Amino acid sequence: GKISQMSSEVRDDNPYSRLMALKSMGIVKNYEDIRKFSIIIVGMGGIGSVAGEMLTRCGIGKLLLFDYDTVEIANMNRLFFRPEQAGMSKTDAAAQTLAAINPDVQFESFCHNITTNDNFENFMDRIKHGGLNGGPVDLVLSCVDNFAARMAINAACNELQVVWMESGVSEDAMSGHIQWLVPGRLACFRCLPPLVTTSGFDEKKLKRENVCAASLPTTMGVVAGLLVQNALKYLLEFGEVAEYLGYNAFKNFFPTYGLHPNPQCEDSNCVRNQKVFQEYKKSGKADKVLKGWD
């Protein structure tokens, strides 16, 4: 067809050439750079597993997967995992499926809780050395469902000055959000009280009555798509990377905000990063300049 005439690198039978068409069309000038990037995904649930599949199909260089849970039949209302994988760790099941989809992607999988002491050390080590060349990973994606895990990711990324993106879906499954966290330039997870992302549903009531949280593959799929779109824009430098983007399914509303860091943040590494960033803005100099600072 039309695409196969555009250039020799763009052929209909090679899935990669359909991605490279983004380059031929001048939309993403450096698309092939995607193979150089390494991403950590924490949480291989309803959002993380779908995000991992999207990145795998986009041709990411390396994925490091963290999750302490196993696949259960109760997860089949989400996308990605299959009934025959029940009982496997989510990380191994995901690596197995994803490696079959794209054998060029490198995988590491860790079936553990990142918040315990030993595992947190390993998590920090993989952030520092999980890149394709043994250097730091390019991005950490948070796809967890609890505050403690988000705080652990925040502490690690503030200490190591690594950019991350956070995601979540509300307990009533009717809204979600993504957030971009650039140490020093944007608010960290401790800078602000957590943003409420519900659609007016009373979460306290839900907890009190011990009702099972709702979940929809639709909302989780939308949020996974927003998250990976933002990750691609950040890594490949096209379009505007969202600082905070919400999704309200009831109202078809996508609020966006800019999030400034809090100079009184309780995380001392965040405060240090803010000072380094301010200094960099004044002098153009810093020991380490983060992609996302300009």
Residues that bind ligand ATP (CB under 6 A): 42-46, 66-69, 75, 90, 113-115, 144-146, 149, 213, 215
Q: Which does residue 188 touch among Zn ion, ligand ATP, none (CB within 5 to 8 A, set by kind)?
A: Zn ion
Contact 114, 152 (CB under 8 A): yes
Query: What is the rounded CA–CA span in Å between residue 70 and residue 92?
Result: 9
- In the set 58, 143, 212, 270, the catalytic residue is 212
Name the minimum Å distance from CB 116 to ligand ATP.
8
270 catalytic? Reply is no
Structure tokens at 15: 């899935």
Name the minimum Å distance from CB 134 to Zn ion.
29
Name the minimum Å distance from CB 75 to ligand ATP.
6
Q: Which does residue 156 touch among Zn ion, ligand ATP, none (CB within 5 to 8 A, set by kind)?
A: none
Query: What is the rounded CA–CA span in Å between residue 167 and residue 174?
Result: 14
Applying CB under 5 A, the span of 62-70, 136-144, 223-231, 266-274 interacting with Zn ion comes to 266-274
Helices 48-58 and 90-101 pack at an angle, to 10 degrees, of: 20
Query: What is the rounded CA–CA span in Å between residue 42 and residue 222?
Result: 18
User: What is the rounded end-to-end Cα distance, in angstroms, of the chain?
Assistant: 40
- In this complex, which beta carbon is closest to Zn ion, that of residue 265 or of residue 290? 265
Name the minimum Å distance from CB 43 to ligand ATP.
3
Query: What is the rounded CA–CA span in Å between residue 229 and residue 294?
Result: 20
* Burial of 76 from C-beta contacts in 10 A (0-12 / 13-18 / 19+): middle
Structure tokens at 94: 């995901």
150 binds Zn ion (CB under 5 A): no
- In this complex, which beta carbon is closest to ligand ATP, that of residue 163 or of residue 224? 224
**How many CB atoms sit inside 10 A of residue 218's CB?**
11
Applying CB under 5 A, among 220, 242, 270, 290 the residue interacting with Zn ion is: 270
Applying CB under 5 A, the span of 76-84, 194-202, 217-225, 265-273 interacting with Zn ion comes to 265-273
Residues within the interface to Zn ion (CB under 5 A):
188, 190-191, 265, 267, 270
Active site residues: 212
